Homo-oligomer: A and B are copies of this chain.
Amino acid sequence: MSTPSAPLTGVVPPLLTPLTADGEVDLPSLERLIGHLLDGGVDGIFALGSSGEVAFWDDARRAAVLEAVTGTVAGQVPVIAGVIDMQTDRVIQHVRAAERFDLAGYVVTAPFYAITGPEEIDTHFRAVAAATDRPLWAYDIPVCVHAKLPAAQLLRLGADGVITGVKDSSGDDVGFRRLAAANRAAGSPLTLLTGHEIVVDGAYLAGADGSVPGLGNVDPSGYVRMHRAAQAGDWEQVRAEQDRLAQLFEIVFQPTDKVGPAAGVGAFKTALRELGIVETNTMASPMTPIEGAAVDRIREILGATGLLDGARAGTDA
């Protein structure tokens, strides 16, 4: 399989999927959101990830999202796409359906629902890789898949050219540093991106090549500034940006009656609505949008972290 000319590093937000009030993809909002990310200076876009509510979309919706995203991005930055499903055959179907779009790679989880052992996981990634020339990213997200991808297995898949990188949402910072160290010792076959919004600074110290922050939909330029500062070795700025982004991340804890994406993605959508970037904070059914006092508290946090001013003045880092 081919490898891309340069590995994808830096800030690659998992793109939200804005919806109209009746639950259809809201194309104008999607275009504004993509513009917001590109203006913020992101290095790539990850469509159809967990934050994109991919678990809730059927095949037609997935195709519609990819068509709109790749059309709007139009090659300005690489776009990678989640091909998330229960098992190998369905994942390959999603890959095949996506081949006609301008994509720089696919993001693949281990199989889920059925209990799965290491041999099946290995076969799974190799079978998906055999179905495409595009690079694969392993998506390590035990909170959804209920299995942790072992570092040794990831490195073997990397050394064999099966995967090009890892999107780590494992919540295991000790494991991430061990993976980063082992990756370096092996000649860095893998690009490592972290998905944990408020500990990206520590991940950079540990050896992350970039981040995939859901919160990067709301404040892309903050994550971009943090990345540039890390590359420049300006760790005091890294820390200052991370602390402010951590304060902003508190929006996801405001809807006390919701869990999972209804809280987290719901808070991101609500913030983007308050910032005037998307039209509604509608969520995929069966989830419902955040309402009431939680919206006020989200708005307060946006104010306290300087984003409401940015909303009026335009986002300029």
Enumerate chain A interface residues (CB-CB to B < 8 A).
50, 53, 55-58, 61, 84-90, 93, 111-117, 119-124, 127, 143-146, 171-174, 177-178, 181, 196, 198-199, 201-203, 205-206, 233, 235-236, 238-239, 242-243, 246-247, 250, 257-262, 284-288
> Given A205-B238, A235-B205: A120 and B262 within 8 A (CB)?
yes
**B286→A124 contact, CB < 8 A:** yes
Q: How far, in whole Å, are A246 and B117 apart by their CA atoms in the complex? A: 25
Chain B min CB distance to A51 (Å) = 10
Chain B min CB distance to A165 (Å) = 20
Q: How far, in whole Å, are A286 and B258 apart by their CA atoms in the complex? A: 31
Residues of B within 8 Å of A262, CB to CB, are 117, 120
**B115→A112 contact, CB < 8 A:** no
Which residue from chain B places its CB closest to the CB of A261 in the assembled complex?
B114
Which residue from chain B places its CB closest to the CB of A253 in the assembled complex?
B178
Q: Sort A-B residue pairs by CB-CB distance and give the 6 closest, nearest first.
A: A202-B202, A115-B260, A123-B286, A235-B235, A173-B173, A120-B286
Q: How far, in whole Å, are A130 and B262 apart by their CA atoms in the complex? A: 23
Q: How far, in whole Å, are A146 and B144 apart by their CA atoms in the complex? A: 9
**B56→A259 contact, CB < 8 A:** no
Chain B min CB distance to A73 (Å) = 25
CB < 8 Å neighbour of A144 from B53, B84, B115, B203: B115
Q: How far, in whole Å, are A258 and B121 apart by their CA atoms in the complex? A: 12
Tell me which of A61, A145, A201, A202 has the highest count of chain B C-beta atoms within 10 A of its own C-beta. A202
- Contacts A120-B287, A181-B247, A205-B239 known; 9 new A-B pairs at CB < 8 A: A55-B87, A89-B284, A115-B260, A115-B261, A120-B286, A124-B286, A171-B173, A174-B196, A233-B236
Q: How far, in whole Å, are A146 and B79 apart by their CA atoms in the complex? A: 31
**A285→B55 contact, CB < 8 A:** no
Residues of B within 8 Å of A119, CB to CB, are 257, 286, 288
